Amino acid sequence: PTTETLRLCMTTQLGDYTETSQIIHTSNSSSYSSILKSSQQNPRWLNSTSKPLLILTPFNESEIRAAVLCSRKRGLQIRVRSGGHDYEGLSYLCKTPFIIIDMINFKSIDVNLADETAWVQSGATLGELYYSIGKKSDVHGFPAGICPTVGVGGHFSGGGFGTLIRKHGLAADHVIDAILIDANGKIMNRKTMGEDLFWAIRGGGGASFGIIVSWKIKLVQVPKVVTGFTVNKLISQGGSSLVNRWQYIADKFHEDLFMRVILQNVGSGSQKQVQAAFNSLFLGGIETLMPLMKQSFPELGLAAKDCIEMSWVQSAQYFAGYKKEQPLEVLLSREALYKSNFKAKSDFVINPIPEIGLRGIWERFMLEELAFMILDPYGGKMAEISEFEIPFPHRKGNLYNIQYIVKWDVNEVSEANKHMNWMNMLYGFMKPYVSNSPRGAYINYKDLQLGTNNKGTNTSYIEASSWGRKYFKNNFKRLAQVKSKVDPHNFFRNEQSIPPLPGLF
Ligand code: FDA
């Protein structure tokens, strides 16, 4: 009955039954399950019993508006899904009756080289964005994440970083306008939403404030030729001291040089070892890179033969695990190259981890099968932008970000607890070595173990601060103030949405 009343309400709002039947997928429709599963990136949730009453795949803003007004009238919650990469599945799971608005039909990208901007709809992927830029220009790029299947909707609204972070900062730093539909169904742009709300959706997580339909972004200039390289070193064969050294210098390298470290265990049984991959992008050719590396990190022993020159858009392929010779169209694939159950957490490092700490990490890696730590260097542009500029606060003073990931096979459902326990043990061990008061975390690597809102509508601001300050530090209060202004009844909510600030409610 709820599904039918919702459908009727939307039909009344839109005044056209055929239109709604094309965009509404109920559990009786043949399309329901395939759409539901289509972009779920963490198979951990595939067997969840939390299913939406219906999935909406709108084609235009009035349909989204109608869904907001009708869901609100019926007391239903909304989950908005763009690329479906949310680490905790919050774009398609909910503990109370809900519907999903899937932005799959909002994926147009309009690149305008004359003013170096682009309008990108939220349902587009990063790969589609990079492809559209690369097709039009070999000297423009955009500083967003590394995985091409990630959706623009969630990614931009949480910050978003990748290989251009040191030169240009975050994706959200380059958003210059947006179209948003609020809890009253009002459709607004930057001018009509005002600077507070526009500030909040660039890093504060869009799901707390409304549905972002599209973003206007400022492109950045890149050289025609960039260079990629990856040097693998086993921890037992000098890798440990290289990682140690990297901690002291990676945030101070020339800002054209981005060098992340991917730690992972390789081999199995008695052959198991920890490996560090120094995975880099340099904004220039090999000839300029080699003397720079000799001066900045000679210990790595980089040779010209380890390096590959390519265009910027080819580097997006390279970092995604494709070869530069493959057609650019691989960036358009919405199928992730690797998909497995995973749990991730994050940290920020202010002081280099001492060698005893590094040894502790290697020991713990030996206790897991598919363990990863990705160390993304900060510094450069990140240190120049104020921590209040947008809600993402982890700027000057951070040497690097850590993402911890543990993966397990899709069929290994019963083993989940074992892997989660390992992750918690590693995260506990890292406490003395990372930022504290608050211990920082990155909202795009969502982690419900940091704390959640109550199931009902009212979670106190103080309670939510326990996790909110980890993601947003002193920006959390301003986010709650914006929330009080634009959604005082907390319609747009989830387990880690921003609560309204009492007193302003
Ligand atoms: P999804 O659709 O699941 O949305 C995530 C959150 O945003 C949900 O709460 C959702 O409701 C909300 N949301 C989505 N669309 C919205 C809209 N239009 N309006 C309002 N709210 C909306 N990050 C990074 O910075 N750099 C990287 O390199 C990577 N790489 C990466 C690889 C892989 C394999 C994964 C799984 C994830 C990453 N990420 C990342 C993390 C990624 O940035 C993060 O998960 C984003 O929130 C994903 O956005 P999606 O739109 O894909 O997710």
Looking at the chain, the domain(s) classified CATH 3.30.43.10 span 2-105
Give the pLDDT confidence score for residue 15 in this predicted structure. Answer: 79
403 pairs with which residues across the strands?
A: 346, 374
CA of 207 to the centre of ligand 1 (A): 11
Confirm or reject: Cβ of 157 under 6 Å from ligand 1.
yes
Establish whether 445 is a catalytic residue.
Answer: yes
Confirm or reject: Cβ of 146 under 6 Å from ligand 1.
yes
Farthest CA pair distance, the chain? 70
400 pairs with which residues across the strands?
A: 349, 377
Nearest-CA residue for ligand 1 atom 16 is 153
φ/ψ of 405, rounded to 5, equals: -135, 135
CATH hierarchy code of domain 109-221: 3.30.465.10
Structure tokens, 36: 């539901």
Give the pLDDT confidence score for residue 17 in this predicted structure. Answer: 60
| SS3 assignment, position 422 | helix
Please check whether the domain covering 2-105 is classified as CATH 3.40.50.300.
no
- What are the C-alpha distances in Å from 383 to residues 251, 356, 378? 9, 28, 7
Nearest-CA residue for ligand 1 atom 26 is 145
Q: What is the pLDDT of residues 459-502, one digit of tens each?
A: 788 889 999 999 999 999 999 999 999 999 999 999 999 999 87
Confirm or reject: Cβ of 81 under 6 Å from ligand 1.
yes
CA of 19 to the centre of ligand 1 (A): 29
Q: What is the pLDDT of residues 180-196, one digit of tens each?
A: 999 999 999 999 999 99
Looking at the chain, the domain(s) classified CATH 3.30.465.10 span 109-221
Set 318, 404, 442, 445: catalytic member: 445
For ligand 1, pick from 378, 444, 445, 447 the residue to mutate: most ligand atoms within 8 Å of CB. 444
Nearest-CA residue for ligand 1 atom 36 is 85
For ligand 1, pick from 38, 106, 155, 341 the residue to mutate: most ligand atoms within 8 Å of CB. 155
Confirm or reject: Cβ of 441 under 6 Å from ligand 1.
no
Give the pLDDT confidence score for residue 505 in this predicted structure. Answer: 46
CA atoms within 13 A on the CB side of 43: 13
Q: Nearest to residue 239, comparing CAs of 262, 216, 218?
A: 262
Q: What is the DSSP letter of 479?
A: H
Confirm or reject: Cβ of 103 under 6 Å from ligand 1.
yes
Q: Report the top-level CATH class of 226-309+340-433.
A: alpha beta
Q: Compute how many other C-beta atoms are within 10 angstroms of the C-beta atom of residue 303.
A: 11
State the Cα–Cα distance between residues 34 and 38, nearest whole angstrom. Answer: 6
Nearest-CA residue for ligand 1 atom 40 is 145
pLDDT 10s digit of each residue in the chain, 505 long?
Answer: 688 888 889 888 887 665 677 899 998 888 999 999 887 888 887 777 789 999 999 999 999 999 999 999 999 999 999 999 999 999 999 989 999 999 999 999 999 999 999 999 999 999 999 999 999 999 999 999 999 999 999 999 999 999 999 999 999 999 999 999 999 999 999 999 999 999 999 999 999 999 999 999 999 999 999 999 999 999 999 999 999 999 999 999 999 999 999 999 998 888 899 999 999 999 999 999 999 999 999 999 999 999 999 999 999 999 999 988 899 999 999 987 777 899 999 999 999 999 999 999 999 999 999 999 999 999 999 999 999 999 999 999 999 999 999 999 877 777 889 999 999 999 999 999 999 999 999 999 999 999 999 876 577 888 899 999 999 999 999 999 999 999 999 999 999 999 998 765 4
Give the pLDDT confidence score for residue 38 in this predicted structure. Answer: 84
Closest atom of ligand 1 to CA, residue 41: 36
Looking at the chain, the domain(s) classified CATH 3.40.462.20 span 226-309+340-433
For ligand 1, pick from 38, 44, 77, 91 the residue to mutate: most ligand atoms within 8 Å of CB. 91
Confirm or reject: Cβ of 83 under 6 Å from ligand 1.
yes
Confirm or reject: Cβ of 153 under 6 Å from ligand 1.
yes
